[in-house]
C-alpha cells in the first residue's frame, strides 16, 4: 500500500474511531480491572497511569499522540488495558502498556519497538492478545518518530532507557502486574521484536536470561555501535548529490530488475526471487551508459558502478578488521533507505548528532573511520547487544528463533549471519548443530526489512510487525493459524513440547499485503545454513514442492491439536476468525 493510501486510511480511521473505547454493558468489567489491584505490587517509583476495560470488538491506543504507533488495533477481545509509569530519576522515565485479556492463556508476550522511536506498540499488542497472551510493550522512555533522536541529546539516562532499561523494567514489573491481576503464576514468558525490537530481545536475553522462555527476533539491529556508523559510511558512498558517483534513486528499480535477472537462477529455479545472494556478484557493466544499445534513461556510469561495489562491500578498518558487512544482492528496491539523495540516512546522521557525539551541528561530511571504534568504546546507553555467550539462557531451557529478510535494504542480512556465527563460536564451541538445540536462524528470500516483498516472495509467517502490515485487526497468518505457518506458535511448540522448529512456511498473496486476495505463493523457510530446494516436479508456488537441505534435524512438526491447545481456540473456528507505516518498523 502506498504512503498516500496509508495516510488517507489513517486520517479517516482517526476521524471515525474514538481513541479510547470502554465497556458499555455487554460484559461485566472484571473486578481486578482498576488501579487498586496493582498498588501492593508496584515499587515506590512506579504508578498506574490509566486502567480501562475494553469490550470485545472495540479498539484501544493513543492515536496520533503516539508518534511512532498512531494506528490502533481494532476488533480486540474483552480485555483490561493498563498503562504503567516508571520514574527512574529526574532525567529518566518510561511508560509501558499491558493488554490483559479476559480469556487468558497463562502466558505473557513482550513486544519490541522500531528504530529510535518512542511509543507503546499497541498495534502488535493487539495481535498478541488475540492468541490469548497478556501483552506488554514499552515506550522506550520517550515519544518520537523512528528517526527522531533529538530526545537523547546530552541525556545519558534517556539513552539508557532506550538502550535496555525500559524493556528490562517493563518485563520485570509487568510480570508482577500480570500475576497480581490474574492471581496466578505465569506459565511461560515470550518475546517478539524486529529491527530495534530484535536488538532489544537479544539485549534482554544477554543481561537477564530468566526474562523469557522463548524469544523471536528479526532483522536485529544488535550491533548499535557498528551498524549505525555503517549507515553513515554507506551513505557517503552516494554523496554528494552533484558528484559523478551519485546514483539517483530513480535508477534503483532498474538495477533491482537486472540483479534478479543475473542472480535469480542460482538457487536452481527461476521464480523472480533471489534465494542465494551470496553466490552472486552483480555485473552492472551490462547497464553501462557507453554500452551499445543500452537504455540511456536507465544506465550507469563507471563512477556509479564503482559506488555499487562499495555498497555491497564489507566495511573494514585500515588493518582489515571487519566493522560491518555490506548489502546483499537483491535488496536494491530498498537502497533508498541508506543510499541517500541529499544526505545520509537519519538513522546514521541523528545517531551521530544526538546519541554518539551530542553535537546537533554534526554533518555527514564530518564522518570519519574512527567512529565505529569510538562508538564501541563509549556505547551510549549500553545499547549494543554483543554478548555472544548465551549459555545462561540455554542452560535454563530457553529457545530462540532469529530471522532476516535477504532483500533487506536497511539492515544487511549478513549482519545476522555474523551474530549467528559468533554465538556458534562462543556458546556452541564452534558446533552449529549444538547451537541449534536452542537457537535457530532463518533467512527469508525476497523479504524486505521485517516484512513485505517487492518480488512476490512469501514473506508472512506471523513475525513481529507483519500482522499490522495486513491491517489493524489482523493476527497470526490469516487462513493458516497453525504451527506450520505461524512462527510464534512454532516457537511455543519448541519451548513447551520440545518440538524443534525445522521449517516454517511463509505465505504471500496476489496483493502481497492483502490477505483477502488468493494465496500466490507459499514456501518453507529453513534453519541456517540450510536452504529450501525445489523438487523439480511439483507446483513451484506450493510449499509441498520444496524441502530444506543442509540441515541434519528432521523432527516432526507440532501437531495441530497441541498448537490449538496452547493458544486456547479450536481449529474448527480458527479458519473463520477474522498498518503500520515503515517508519515505525525501522
- Residues taking part in catalysis: 195, 408, 449
- What is the rounded distance in angstroms from the CA atom of residue 231 to the CA atom of residue 337? 9
What distances in angstroms separate CA 217 from CA 110, 140, 238, 388, 538, one per listed residue?
A: 12, 17, 31, 15, 32
DSSP codes, 262-311: HHGGGGS--SS--S-GGG----GGGGBTTSTT--GGG-B-HHHHHHHHHH
φ, ψ for residue 36 (rounded to 5)? -65, -20
CA distance 350 to 255: 29
506 φ, ψ (degrees, to nearest 5)? -95, 150
What is the distance between the alpha carbons of residues 190 and 175, in angstroms, rounded to a whole number? 11
The rounded distance, in Å, linking the Cα atoms of 241 and 215 is 42
- Find out whether 403 and 463 touch, Cβ atoms under 8 Å: yes
Q: Which of 112, 107, 111, 113 is nearest to 134 (CA)?
A: 107
CA distance 375 to 586: 20
Q: Closest Cα to residue 392, out of 440, 426, 358, 367?
A: 426
Residue keyed to cell 532499561: 165
For β-strands 188-194 and 134-138, DSSP reports them as unpaired
The cell for 272 is 523472480
| Residues 521, 545 contacting (CB under 8 angstroms) | no
How many CB atoms are located within 10 Å of the residue 40 CB?
8
Contact 459, 446 (CB under 8 A): yes
Q: Which residue has the cell 558502478?
A: 305
CA dist 383 and 259 (Å) reads 35
Give the DSSP H/E element, type plus range, for residue 468: helix 466-470
List the one residue out of 136, 141, 110 whose CA is nearest residue 203: 110
Give the span between the Cα atoms of 499 and 546, in whole angstroms.
21
8-state DSSP, 381: G
Q: Which residues contact 457 (CB under 8 A, 6 or more apart)?
A: 272, 273, 407, 444, 445, 446, 447, 506, 508, 521, 523
Contact 216, 192 (CB under 8 A): yes
What are the phi and psi torsion angles at 527 (to 5°)? -70, 125
Amino acid at each position: 500500500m502506498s504512503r498516500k493510501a496509508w495516510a488517507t486510511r489513517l486520517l479517516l480511521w482517526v476521524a471515525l474511531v474514538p481513541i479510547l473505547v470502554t465497556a458499555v454493558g455487554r460484559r461485566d468489567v472484571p473486578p481486578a480491572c482498576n488501579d487498586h489491584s496493582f498498588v501492593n505490587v508496584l515499587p515506590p517509583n512506579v504508578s498506574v497511569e490509566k486502567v480501562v476495560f475494553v469490550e470485545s470488538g472495540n479498539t484501544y491506543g493513543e492515536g496520533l499522540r503516539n508518534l511512532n504507533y498512531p494506528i490502533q488495533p481494532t476488533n480486540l477481545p474483552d480485555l483490561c488495558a493498563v498503562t504503567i509509569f516508571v520514574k527512574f530519576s529526574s532525567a529518566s522515565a518510561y511508560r509501558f502498556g499491558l493488554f490483559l485479556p479476559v480469556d487468558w492463556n497463562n502466558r505473557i508476550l513482550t513486544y519490541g519497538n522500531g528504530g529510535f522511536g518512542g511509543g507503546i506498540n499497541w498495534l502488535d499488542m493487539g495481535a498478541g492478545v488475540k492468541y490469548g497472551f497478556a501483552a506488554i510493550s514499552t515506550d522506550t522512555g520517550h515519544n518520537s518518530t523512528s528517526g527522531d533522536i533529538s530526545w537523547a541529546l546530552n541525556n545519558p539516562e534517556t539513552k539508557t532507557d532506550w538502550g535496555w532499561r525500559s524493556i528490562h523494567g517493563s518485563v520485570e514489573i509487568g510480570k508482577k502486574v500480570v500475576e497480581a491481576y490474574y492471581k496466578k503464576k505465569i506459565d511461560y514468558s515470550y518475546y517478539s521484536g524486529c529491527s530495534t525490537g530484535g536488538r532489544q530481545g537479544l539485549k534482554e536475553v544477554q543481561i537477564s536470561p530468566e526474562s523469557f522462555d522463548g524469544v523471536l527476533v528479526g532483522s536485529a539491529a544488535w550491533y548499535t555501535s557498528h551498524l549505525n556508523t555503517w549507515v553513515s559510511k554507506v551513505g557517503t558512498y552516494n554523496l554528494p548529490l552533484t558528484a559523478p558517483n551519485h546514483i539517483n534513486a530513480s535508477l534503483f528499480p532498474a538495477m533491482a530488475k537486472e540483479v534478479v535477472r543475473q542472480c535469480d537462477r542460482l538457487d536452481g529455479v527461476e521464480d523472480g526471487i533471489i534465494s542465494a545472494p551470496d553466490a552472486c556478484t552483480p555485473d552492472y557493466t551490462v547497464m553501462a551508459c557507453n554500452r551499445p544499445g543500452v537504455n540511456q534513461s536507465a544506465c550507469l556510469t563507471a563512477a556509479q558502478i564503482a559506488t555499487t561495489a562499495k555498497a555491497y562491500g564489507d566495511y573494514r578498518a585500515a588493518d582489515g578488521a571487519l566493522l560491518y558487512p555490506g548489502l546483499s544482492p537483491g535488496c536494491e528496491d530498498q537502497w533508498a533507505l541508506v543510499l541517500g539523495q541529499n544526505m545520509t540516512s537519519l538513522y546514521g546522521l541523528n545517531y551521530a548528532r544526538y546519541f554518539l557525539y551530542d553535537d546537533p551541528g554534526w554533518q555527514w561530511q564530518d564522518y570519519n573511520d574512527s567512529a565505529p571504534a569510538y562508538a564501541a568504546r563509549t556505547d551510549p546507553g549500553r545499547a549494543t547487544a554483543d554478548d555472544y555467550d548465551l549459555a545462561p539462557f540455554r542452560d535454563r531451557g530457553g529457545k530462540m528463533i532469529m530471522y532476516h529478510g535477504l532483500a533487506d535494504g536497511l539492515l544487511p542480512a549478513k549482519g545476522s549471519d555474523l551474530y549467528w556465527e559468533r554465538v556458534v563460536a562462543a556458546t556452541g564451541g564452534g558446533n552449529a548443530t549444538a547451537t541449534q538445540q536452542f537457537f535457530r536462524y532463518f533467512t527469508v528470500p525476497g523479504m524486505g526489512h521485517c516484512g513485505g516483498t517487492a518480488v512476490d516472495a512469501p514473506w508472512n509467517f506471523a513475525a513481529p510487525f507483519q500482522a499490522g502490515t495486513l491491517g489493524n485487526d489482523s493476527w497470526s497468518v490469516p487462513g493458516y493459524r497453525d504451527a506450520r505457518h505461524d512462527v510464534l506458535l512454532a516457537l511455543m511448540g519448541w519451548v513447551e513440547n520440545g518440538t524443534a522448529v525445522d521449517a516454517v512456511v511463509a505465505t504471500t498473496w496476489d496483493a502481497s499485503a492483502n490477505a483477502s486476495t488468493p494465496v500466490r505463493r507459499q514456501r518453507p523457510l529453513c534453519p541456517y545454513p540450510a536452504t529450501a530446494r525445489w523438487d523439480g516436479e511439483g507446483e513451484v508456488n506450493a510449499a509441498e514442492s520444496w524441502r530444506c537441505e543442509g540441515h541434519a534435524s528432521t523432527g516432526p512438526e507440532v501437531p495441530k491439536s497441541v498448537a490449538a491447545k496452547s493458544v486456547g481456540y479450536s481449529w474448527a473456528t480458527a479458519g473463520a476468525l477474522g498498518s503500520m507505516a515503515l517508519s515505525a518498523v525501522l
